[in-house]
Amino acid sequence: MKKDYKLPDLKLASNRTGETKKVIFEISDEYKTLGADKKYFIKTHGCQANQRDSESIAGLLEDMSYSPAKDETEADLVLINTCAVREGAEDKVFGEIGALKRLKREKPSMLIGICGCMAQEEKTVEEILSKYHQVDIIFGTHNITSLPKLINDVLTANKKRAVEVYSKQGEVIEEVPVTRFASHKAWVNIMYGCDNFCTYCIVPYTRGKERSRLLEDVVKEVKQLKEEGYVEICLLGQNVNDYGRDLKLGYDFADLLDEVAKTGIRRIRFVTSNPWGFTDKMIDCLARNENVCPYLHLPVQSGSNDVLKLMNRHYTKESYKELFDKIKKAVPHYAFTTDIIVGFPNETDEDFKDTLDMVDYCKYDNAFTFIYSKRSGTPAARMEDLTPREVKEARLQELNQHVAKWANESMQKFKGQTVEVLVDGISKKNANAYSGYTVENKLVNFTGDDVKVGDLVMVEIEEAMSFSLKGKMVSKVEL
Ligand code: SAH
Ligand code: SF4
Ligand code: F3S
């Protein structure tokens, strides 16, 4: 069979040509009833960018008259939105695709689609095409708006499979329909892609060139969310400090944050601000806007200058600490979290000790810690790596002990305090309790009466553990 698609190509995906250009999406009439009487189910892996993409995918499907299924067994279309950041994430997806084979045998009309970051990797797409015949549709992170056409190809044009996985360098697509999965907090993309190429990371290849949305488009979306009753928004970008750079319109992330704050939306968060390009203007902006939540995720990755250099991170342990101290001085009430990788190729005991020192210096409120995972096609994958797995695992354990100690300490100061919590729903741990987050992003489980999702409540904290707080509701905040 002649191939009518191009496989993704990591080398091509590392091109950084082309200007940012805005494209307005419109769904073609012929696709609007394709999903009538049919149900869809989306399983989402990975980061917030993928969560938000799944909401666009759901929006597109509902514009095609599909309705949501409660799980994959009642779905006519199952999509897995995948993550490629570590091997473990990929293994999980292959397991899920395997499990869907049985379901499809029972219901041959069911369509299975794979999308997200794994769909931008050449070797993964080849593997799916050759070994997983149950998969009908594959589309990449750049090709989400082609989904209606791809479904049409399989359903009505009798194509065996529909594949679209090529990178588009500079496109920002606006007015894509969206079905948000929550009614109280929302993700808002401010930019796509990443131009940093940290040597361990696959994201610049799977998400493509850095491109920003226009400031007025972001502000318009936030205003609308506020009108719809949303209490919290989170601005998303792989490296928000770079916001606006590609547009050359004279505004940057601090300007955007000021404008978003002016909408008066109650809680504003953002991820990820990296430890370079974090300007004094941004620090001033945090200090002056009270609706920006006092919480900063500042990924350090390693505390060793040698490793940071090999990782292509643009800072040293000294300059990171300097920035950290400067921010802490300007906004002392802020909570800080970080990401750390242990076992980067040839990380020595000395390097690892520098990382522990960094954790003890910054006393993070929490840290997301990972063992380095080799991603083929990235520069680090070509580095010699002689450190045994057991050594890496032991390092991770030791690191986690340091992290837990400071996490616990940061929690203790909340004991006896009354804090504002935005309610997410019933607690995962206790069916008679609720849970939600404080402005500092602390998880709170609490008891109370007449509480619903999206309520803002005041909770008196009775108990503080390393990674969550426990308390009882004392009042509701009028919204
Ligand atoms: N753009 C964000 C998120 C990147 S992915 C940022 O720059 O922070 C989230 C985290 O996954 C990274 O911060 C890093 O700690 C981890 N990560 C990325 N690639 C990895 C790899 N190959 N192995 C292990 N952890 C990795
Ligand atoms: Fe990956 Fe680095 Fe870009 Fe973050 S900044 S997405 S870690 S390449
Ligand atoms: Fe994973 Fe892609 Fe996000 S690799 S972390 S889903 S950008």
Task: Identify which of 110, 146, 140 has the alpha carbon closest to the alpha carbon of residue 122.
Answer: 140
Q: Who contacts 142 (Cβ-Cβ below 8 Å, separation ≥6)? A: 120, 166, 167, 168, 171, 208
For ligand 1, the distance from its centroid to the CA atom of residue 217, given in whole angstroms, is: 28
Higher-scoring residue by pLDDT: 478, 176:
176
Which pLDDT tens digit goes with each residue over 119-157? 999 899 999 999 999 999 999 999 999 999 999 999 987
Q: Is residue 139 within 6 Å of ligand 1 at its C-beta?
A: no
Which pLDDT tens digit goes with each residue over 74-106? 999 999 999 999 999 999 999 999 999 999 999
Compute the average pLDDT of residues 109-117.
97
* Ramachandran sector of residue 208 (left: φ over 0; alpha: ψ -120 to 50; beta: rest): left
What is the residue with the minimal CA distance to atom 2 of ligand 2?
A: 198
pLDDT band at 17 (very low <50, low <70, confident <90, very high): confident
Note the helical H segments in 16-146: 48-63, 87-106, 122-131
Q: What amino acid is encoded at 369 in this protein?
A: T
Q: How many Cα neighbours within 13 Å face the side chain of 475?
A: 5
Q: What amino acid is encoded at 239 in this protein?
A: N
Q: Does position 2 have pLDDT exceeding 90, yes or no?
A: no
Q: What amino acid is encoded at 280 in this protein?
A: D
Q: Cα 109 from chain centroid?
A: 32
Lowest mean pLDDT among 3-12, 118-127, 167-176: 3-12
What is each CA distance from 218 to 77, 193, 208, 262, 272, in whole angstroms? Answer: 31, 16, 20, 13, 17
Q: Ligand 2: which of 191, 192, 203, 206 to mutate, most ligand atoms within 8 Å of CB?
A: 203
- Residue 159 has a pLDDT of 80
pLDDT band at 1 (very low <50, low <70, confident <90, very high): very low
Residues 450 and 411: beta-carbon distance below 8 Å: no
Q: Ligand 1: which of 118, 203, 338, 339 to mutate, most ligand atoms within 8 Å of CB?
A: 339
How many other CB atoms are there within 10 angstroms of residue 73's CB atom? 12
Q: Ligand 2: which of 85, 117, 120, 196 to mutate, most ligand atoms within 8 Å of CB?
A: 196
Which pLDDT tens digit goes with each residue over 356-376? 999 999 999 999 999 999 999
Determine the Cα–Cα distance for residues 140 and 177; give it in Å rounded to an integer. Answer: 18
Task: Identify which of 355, 332, 326, 297 has the alpha carbon closest to the alpha carbon of residue 413.
Answer: 332
Which pLDDT tens digit goes with each residue over 251-280? 999 999 999 999 999 999 999 999 999 999
Q: Does position 6 have pLDDT exceeding 80, yes or no?
A: no
Lowest mean pLDDT among 34-48, 146-160, 217-231, 464-478: 146-160
Burial (CB count <10 Å: 0-12, 13-18, 19+), residue 102: exposed
Q: Who contacts 218 (Cβ-Cβ below 8 Å, separation ≥6)? A: 188, 190, 235, 256, 259, 260
**DSSP assignment of 337-392, as one string?**
EEEEEE--TT--HHHHHHHHHHHHHHT-SEEEEEE----TTSGGGGS-----HHHH
Compute the average pLDDT of residues 173-201.
97
Q: Does position 453 have pLDDT exceeding 60, yes or no?
A: yes
- Residue 149 has a pLDDT of 96
Q: What amino acid is encoded at 416 in this protein?
A: G
- Residue 166 has a pLDDT of 79
Q: Enter the pTM of the model.
A: 0.96
Compute the average pLDDT of residues 406-422.
97
- Residue 3 has a pLDDT of 65
- Residue 409 has a pLDDT of 97
Q: Is residue 203 within 6 Å of ligand 1 at its C-beta?
A: yes
For ligand 1, the distance from its centroid to the CA atom of residue 201, given in whole angstroms, is: 6
Query: Is 282 in a helix, a strand, or coil?
Result: helix
What is the residue with the minimal CA distance to atom 3 of ligand 1?
A: 238
Q: What is the chain's alpha carbon radius of gyration, rounded to the nearest angstrom?
A: 23
- Residue 68 has a pLDDT of 98
What DSSP element (H or E) covers 147? helix 147-155
Phi, psi of 461 (to 5 degrees): -85, 125
Q: Please identify, by atom number, the ligand 3 atom nearest to the C-alpha of residue 50.
A: 6
What is the chain's mean pLDDT, rounded?
96
Q: Give the β-pairing of 335-342 and 456-464.
A: unpaired
Compute the average pLDDT of residues 59-73.
97
Residues 174 and 25: beta-carbon distance below 8 Å: yes
Determine the Cα–Cα distance for residues 110 and 378; give it in Å rounded to an integer. Answer: 36
Q: Give the β-pairing of 335-342 and 295-297.
A: parallel
DSSP category for residue 329: H
Q: Is residue 198 within 6 Å of ligand 2 at its C-beta?
A: yes
What is the residue with the minimal CA distance to atom 19 of ligand 1?
A: 201
Which pLDDT tens digit goes with each residue over 288-334? 999 999 999 999 999 999 999 999 999 999 999 999 999 999 999 99
